[in-house]
Chain A
């Protein structure tokens, strides 16, 4: 099962950006594909890969986002008082996180200078909390900084 979603963007972005959808492939027009891959290592809940790089540029015409449902379910399908909500929120969180990568957001540890991976300002890029007792599902994913950063580029 997979969900393919077409994202449309304005074509007035900065020429220096890595990501652009203006180079959409002729054969595969979807910019971000969301699918499952339960064979990812057990400590990985999701992954983003550029599956159509733009030849000779630093740009990507299509990203594929993969969910590791096995790892997600290990932590969220059978635990917690609100099982259904926990599962839904974990997928929502991962979608936000991985989609953030497709538009250029990155982990705190990779920042220059590096910052805490759980810094609130990372918004979508805060990793999933595996202990349901500590989950903060009401974090403002895609919050102020994420929105400003994306809008500043695209």
Chain B
């Protein structure tokens, strides 16, 4: 009964959440659309053709990501390692269907140069560079916009981040251990991202105590963390299967 009540409220909240994101878009759109928001909200209105400004803005979607950054100890348990990285390049991954339809996302691969391993969890050392797929761009009503994540900052070339990383030994694929584990670093300090302004990001609670820390303090904090004891109870190596299995053993995962 309690669960039902929670879920019911969750549903209501979702609408506000989505609306929050859309409101941000709407604000940008309205800035170049002659302030016609009132007219657009009338009951018989049709979505107007919009003109976007060239001002950078980031939107995000709702993803079925298997991983959720819910607790700082996750960083000591799940990623192969946590590293200070610099984004050295980005490559657009063409999506002909998106281009044809004028809607949808356009993927991006970024190259992360590992500047320092802040925490090593897996026995194998992290490589010097990794290429990961990440949010790129979205065609919204035919206009291209930057796509980010609700859970962490968007990777930008030339900028530095702390990020949890996972890999699949069989394919050699690397990935970011959820964008929620990514922290932008400026002048040696972790700074908040757009995601940290989100009221509903599932990673916000775990991220909050780490925001604002200078790098040395961040290192100390990560060094203190211990992996969940349940991690020793599974032999799974695939990052997503292992995550779900440990969460199951902790009583949080799939039933």
Contact = CB atoms under 8 A, between A and B. Distances in A.
Dominant secondary structure of chain B at its interface with chain A: mixed
A28 B103 contact: yes
A35 B98 contact: yes
B33 A118 contact: no
A77 interface: no
Nearest to A67: B64
A27 B19 CA distance: 23
Interface in B70-87: 70
Contacts of B25: 50, 53
Q: Which 5 A-B pairs have the closest CB atoms?
A: A56-B37, A39-B107, A58-B19, A111-B10, A49-B61
A39 B22 contact: no
B217 interface: no
B17 A98 contact: no
B45 A23 contact: yes
A40 B36 contact: no
A57 B202 contact: no
A142 interface: no
A80 interface: no
Contacts of A23: 40, 45-47
A48 B62 CA distance: 5
Contacts of A46: 63-64
B227 interface: no
Interface residues of B, number: 96
A149 B66 contact: no
Nearest to B147: A49
A2 interface: yes
Interface in A67-123: 74-75, 94, 97-98, 101, 104-122
B254 interface: yes
A114 B209 CA distance: 19
Contacts of B63: 40, 44, 46-48
Interface stretch (B120-128, B185-193, B237-245): B237-245
